[in-house]
Amino acid sequence: MIQAKGIIKSFGENHVLKGVDVDFYPGKTNLIIGRSGSGKTVFLKTILGLFEPDGGSIHYGEEVLGEMSKQRRKTLRQEIGMVFQGGALFDSMSVAENIRFPLEMFSTMTEHEKDARVKFVMDRVRLEGADKLFPSEISGGMQKRVSIARAISMNPNYLFCDEPNSGLDPETAIVIDQLIQEITHEFGMTTIVNTHDMNSVLEIGDHVVFMKEGHKVWEGTNDQVLGSTNADVEDYVFKSKLFKQVRTALRK
Amino acid sequence: MITNFFEGIGAYALLMTKVFRRPDRWKLFYRALVKEIQLLGLDSIGIVVILSVFMGGVVTIQTAFQLSDDPLIPTYYIAMATRESITLEFSPTVVSLILAGKVGSNVASSLGTMRVSEQIDALEVMGVNSASFLILPKIVAQLLFNPILIIMSLFLGLWGGAMAGDLLGLVPFEESIMGYRLEFIPFENAFYALIKTVVFAFIIGSVSAYSGYTVKGGAVEVGVASTNAVVRSCLAIILANYLLTDLILTS
């Protein structure tokens, strides 16, 4: 479980996070949603430890991130998998080498065990036969799957995804969303997904946190989001024509 | 502007303290080192060969142009002057400046692209010291291979000078060889050239890596970083050249 308690973060005069309290649960896909500029990405990077908070604390289980030793922080990072918005695959490495990289760097596995683990995660994200291809030779959807495979190769306790289906067609986006939810449930990871895609929210939002102007203004589940009476959530969710029609249909 | 300069120097020094750490995995370090030697060293051989041969030729022609009017000066003195020019200045400095252009832009653009496409963030999230993992092999590759390139350049420059002198009838080939050997103190000049080369190699690797690693923005900023890498490396080489020359030759 990850807990964010009273997180404050500013960049000069720009106060991005103004005291955010959220609990992220293991075995669930925890989604952070909100408009661009609401502080989602800064919040995610603060939880990850890429930004130091100006106030508040991040708790990984019983441990406080800010109080961890350098060595402990380093080992904690090996318990974290991250799927970046653009994939962030190493373009000089093949698909298999990308997935194998964390194992080469940190694991004490034998070569045979590493091969088996790479094959397992590649099969798990349905990337069979793509091992020798390079990131520039595969589609955006495949790149995201490679990124997920790399993120889970070390069997992490925590999975972070920053806009995992941006730039993907709706069908592929659903495949990626479902994959994230499946592996979260299967491996019992604490998954935090940063998104502004309402389809993702409805598809995989076991726990949804809505942020606005550096504050958490609502939290609930994907089943509750459409029925929320919070004005900010309503305004965000029912902005598109499609969701306006959905609301009309629901009210009928 | 002055504040920015000193902030830059500070950021560069801090980056170097992150770079010079023990690699997490030596196997991956050696693998990266071999790759960098191929990319930054072996792939530079062609340009060094061409540059050195013609540079040697030009130095011989220009020296001959200056000295040939005086019939009292033996022609092998032209070769001797060429040797001094090539060994002390042209091979270590000019070749390093050319490498700063070729290698520096390569290093800065590859690291800059990794930065803007979040590949460096991905390494940091995994717990990898990205500065050491990415930059250290590049600097070590330069430190190991640039001296080899410069030694090669010295020989080729002298050969080019002798060939040009012979072909243009300025200095017979045998007299060039005699001139090259005249009052030659083994190792002294070569030692000076190699010290300069090692310092310049460090400058090329580290300054261009700093320019690329600290990029913020997108493709345009990567281009700017690549240009900055070359300009900063060249300026630093010229400054270091002056200081080293003063330190080594006058002390």
pLDDT tens for A179-207 read 889 889 988 999 999 988 888 888 888 99
* Most B-contacting residue of A47, A72, A82 (CB-CB within 10 A), to test interface: A82
Distance (Å) from the C-alpha of residue A89 to the closest C-alpha of chain B?
6
Task: Say whether pLDDT at B199 is over 90.
Answer: yes
- Once rounded to an integer, what is the mean pLDDT over residues A235-250? 76
Tokens of A200: 């993702």
Candidate from A86, A89, A102 with C-beta closest to B126: A102
Domain limits at B145? 2-250
- Once rounded to an integer, what is the mean pLDDT over residues A131-160? 90
B122 contacts A82? CB cut-off 8 A: yes
Strands (E), A61-164: 63-64, 80-83, 158-162
- Once rounded to an integer, what is the mean pLDDT over residues A34-49? 89
Distance (Å) from the C-alpha of residue B25 to the closest C-alpha of chain A?
6
Q: What is the predicted ipTM?
A: 0.82
- Once rounded to an integer, what is the mean pLDDT over residues A127-145? 89
pLDDT averaged over every residue in chain B = 91
Angle at B224 between CA A87 and CA B104, to 5 degrees: 90
User: Nearest-CA neighbor of A205 among A69, A86, A74, A30?
Assistant: A30
Structure confidence by residue, pLDDT tens digits, B10-31 = 999 999 999 999 998 899 999 9
Taking the alpha carbons at both ends of chain A, their separation in whole angstroms is 39
- Global pTM reads 0.85
Task: Say whether pLDDT at B251 is over 70.
Answer: no
DSSP state of A137: G
Model pLDDT, residue A93: 92
Domain count, chain B: 1
Closest residue of chain B to A105, computed from CA coordinates = B25
- Once rounded to an integer, what is the mean pLDDT over residues A220-234? 84
- Per the CB < 8 A criterion, the answer to whether A184 and A223 are in contact is no
Task: Say whether pLDDT at B227 is over 90.
Answer: yes
B128 contacts A104? CB cut-off 8 A: no
Residue with tokens 């964010």, as numbered in its chain: A4
Structure confidence by residue, pLDDT tens digits, B156-186 = 999 999 999 999 988 899 989 998 888 887 7
Domains and CATH numbers, chain A: 1-79+163-252 (3.40.50.300), 89-155 (no CATH)
Instruction: Give the C-alpha separation, A150 to A154, whole Å.
Output: 8
Structure confidence by residue, pLDDT tens digits, A55-101 = 999 999 889 998 999 888 888 888 899 998 888 999 989 999 999 99
Distance (Å) from the C-alpha of residue A101 to the closest C-alpha of chain B?
10
User: Nearest-CA neighbor of A83 among A133, A140, A127, A129?
Assistant: A140
pLDDT averaged over every residue in chain A = 88
